[in-house]
Amino acid sequence: MLLIDLARTSAAVAADSARLAKIRHLADLLSRVEPHEAEIAVAYLSGELPQRQIGVGYASLRELPDPRQIASATLTEVDDLLSRIKAQAGPGSQAARKELVAQLFRSLTRQEQSFLLRLLGGELRQGALNGVMIEAVAKASGVPAAEVRRALTLRGWLPAVGAAALVGGVEALRSFHLEVGRPVAPMLAQSAPNLPAALLKLGGPGALEWKLDGIRVQTHRSGDRVRVFTRTLDDITAQVPELVEAALGLHADDLVLDGEVIAVRPDGRPEPFQVTAGRVASKLDVERLRETTPLRVFFFDALRVHGKDMLDLPDAERHAALEQAVPSDLLIPRLVTADPDEAATFYSDALRRGHEGIVAKSLTTPYAAGRRGAGWIKVKPRHTLDLVVLAAEWGHGRRQGKLSNLHLGARDPETGGFVMLGKTFKGLTDDLLNWQTEHFLTLATGPSDEWVVPLRPELVVEIAFDGVQRSPRYPGGMALRFARVLRYRPDKPPTEADTIETVRSLLL
DNA sequence: TTCCGACAGTGGGGTCGCAAT
DNA sequence: ATTGCGACCCCACTATCGGAA
């Protein structure tokens, strides 16, 4: 099959807003693909590469060679070149990758170049990724979508699952099982604004667990072999020896557990997320790091214990098996209660000990791998500040032509100026985007055709955020975590905006 | 007919490792 | 030594479609 066929399909998918039409376009192409190119086609049209990453991003695609006129590149040819690009390493590798990228793009027409540029840049922008592709694979292969979904949660990689369905049908999908050593898509949580709302959403008796601000870890053990995977199914076994040892210390030797690792201080309190993330990301001299920045693991779910798969069992049964297999000092604190007061006490205790919040869990839901199911509801405290908009950036994609990303500043009473604390583009409705684009242009103090438009610091905006963290990037040495817009405060003059001291008092 | 779950899109801050400067 | 880049960790929120109620 030719790359141009995929590029045309992608354009058709982007042109139709209806999901069912997108599915039709994708299924139509998939039903024509040769078996040996099925995985490539599923990957490209869902925004993935069979190689996963190849070390090429938008920055290395800034200048491209002229396109050719006649399309002739096959999927196999493109895939081979991407593999060669990925294989480059060591001194001279950047130049070698650049030359191979140029060679690849020289062989493509304008439409193919545009498609591959978006694919490699990680922004396909055709309104279809995994979710739509699952349906398209089902349609093209004549297999129920539920079978595709089930196989995907167990395999975690749609190109492989899609190719299996297209080539081998439902029998091929049935051969996917929970396999120790191969990660499963982790279950995700929905969120609620506060504890009563979370309990209401749960609808019945539930369990509360601490929510730790660390790294999600799916731990597999078969005999004396242990593998640890992150939320995106990357293998971090080598970076977390404490966890490997903890898993080997358990008496069950055929298991898959879900949990969180955090770096802890000598007094047992959690380190800030930045410290945990740095520790887990670091691959050099792990033995030294574990002395200076030790990790602790807290398990909260069991997908398999003593060789028995538990994904489909209710939470309460999985947790009972977890308690059997894991000593209490490796378990996340948990309270089963229907009493709102007890729940509130548990929540405030978790916060007092420095944790991020709690997760409320239904006792009856199965482990919904890969889904953001209503069985888990997270609750975190929310802070707000009134800040001043210092500048705005032009948006991309569906926000093209709109001033989107806000630069936020707190008042500095010493100088009478403002100190930037970060940016946000979240929480804006389309109406608000339109209004702010128009209004900001009247406040601009610089050219409005630059990417960043500086503004007179006159508009106050109420911002919600999760916390203040240390920042090497901003002048105040602090930045807001997960900042989002709540509302504009045209009634409030910038002289009454919150001060940098107020922000500093929130930095732990 | 209305409601709501799932999905895609738009990006945020931080850290590490690696190659190039 | 410093810088640029890619990859990955954490993530919130809105708009939209289409099946469920």
Residue A13 in this model has a pLDDT that exceeds 80: yes
**Mean pLDDT, chain A, integer:** 93
Q: What is the pLDDT of residue A414?
A: 94
pLDDT tens digits, one per residue of A449-481: 888 999 999 999 999 999 999 998 898 999 999
Could you check: is the Cβ of residue A89 within 7 Å of any atom of nucleic acid strand C?
A: no
- Of A residues 238-277, those with CB within 7 angstroms of nucleic strand C are 273, 277
**What is the CB-side half-sphere exposure of residue A218 using CA atoms within 13 A?**
24
Delimiting residues of CATH 1.10.3260.10 domain(s) in chain A: 3-173
Q: Which residues of A are annotated as a binding site?
A: 209, 216, 231, 260, 300, 372, 378
Q: What is the pLDDT of residue A372?
A: 67
Range A401-425 average pLDDT: 94
- CA A278-A279-A281 angle, to 5 degrees, is 65
Range A11-21 average pLDDT: 93
Q: What is the pLDDT of residue A285?
A: 85
Indicate the class that CATH gives domain A3-173.
Answer: mainly alpha
Range A83-89 average pLDDT: 94
Whole-model pTM: value is 0.94
What is d(CA A265, CA A296) in angstroms, rounded to the nearest whole number? 10
Could you check: is the Cβ of residue A91 within 7 Å of any atom of nucleic acid strand C?
A: no
Confidence of residue A345 (pLDDT cuts 50, 70, 90): very high
The region of weakest confidence among A198-212, A215-229, A393-407 is A198-212
Three-state DSSP string of A113-130: HHHHHHHHHCCCCCCCCH
Delimiting residues of CATH 3.30.470.30 domain(s) in chain A: 188-379
> Residue with structure tokens 């802070």?
A383
Could you check: is the Cβ of residue A230 within 7 Å of any atom of nucleic acid strand C?
A: yes
What is d(CA A172, CA A188) in angstroms, rounded to the nearest whole number? 27
Which of A314, A296, A354, A306 lies closest to A207 in space, CA to CA?
A: A314
**Residue A308 bears catalytic tag:** no
- CA A433-A435-A438 angle, to 5 degrees, is 105
Confidence of residue A303 (pLDDT cuts 50, 70, 90): very high
Delimiting residues of CATH 2.40.50.140 domain(s) in chain A: 383-504
Range A193-205 average pLDDT: 84
Q: What is the pLDDT of residue A439?
A: 95
* Backbone phi and psi for residue A76, each to the nearest 5 degrees, phi listed first: -65, -40
- A38-45 and A3-15 helices cross at what angle (nearest 10)? 30
Q: What is the pLDDT of residue A508?
A: 65
**What is the CB-side half-sphere exposure of residue A470 using CA atoms within 13 A?**
7
Nucleotides of C under 7 A from a protein CB: 4-19
Identify the architecture of domain A383-504 in CATH.
Answer: Beta Barrel (2.40)
Confidence of residue A318 (pLDDT cuts 50, 70, 90): very high
Residue A31 in this model has a pLDDT that exceeds 70: yes
pLDDT tens digits, one per residue of A233-267: 999 999 999 999 999 999 999 999 999 999 999 99
Which of A437, A382, A413 lies closest to A497 in space, CA to CA?
A: A413
Environment class of A2 (CB within 10 Å of its CB; exposed 0-12, middle 13-18, buried 19+): middle
Could you check: is the Cβ of residue A127 within 7 Å of any atom of nucleic acid strand B?
A: yes
Residue A398 in this model has a pLDDT that exceeds 90: no
Q: What is the pLDDT of residue A375?
A: 85
The region of weakest confidence among A150-164, A363-377, A395-409, A412-426 is A363-377
Distance A234 CA to C19 C1' (A): 34
Name the maximum alpha-carbon separation found in chain A: 71
Here the tokens at position A433 are 């985007």
- Of A residues 331-350, those with CB within 7 angstroms of nucleic strand C are none
pLDDT tens digits, one per residue of A92-146: 999 999 999 999 999 999 999 999 999 999 989 899 999 999 999 999 999 999 9
Range A67-75 average pLDDT: 97
Residue A178 CB neighbour total at 10 angstroms: 17
Residue A381 in this model has a pLDDT that exceeds 90: yes
Confidence of residue A405 (pLDDT cuts 50, 70, 90): very high
Confidence of residue A275 (pLDDT cuts 50, 70, 90): very high
Range A323-336 average pLDDT: 96
Residue A370 in this model has a pLDDT that exceeds 90: no
Range A288-312 average pLDDT: 94
What is d(CA A225, CA A58) in angstroms, rounded to the nearest whole number? 39
Which CATH topology does A188-379 take?
Answer: D-amino Acid Aminotransferase; Chain A, domain 1 (3.30.470)
Distance A427 CA to B4 C1' (A): 20
- Per annotation, catalytic residue among A22, A139, A211, A380: A211
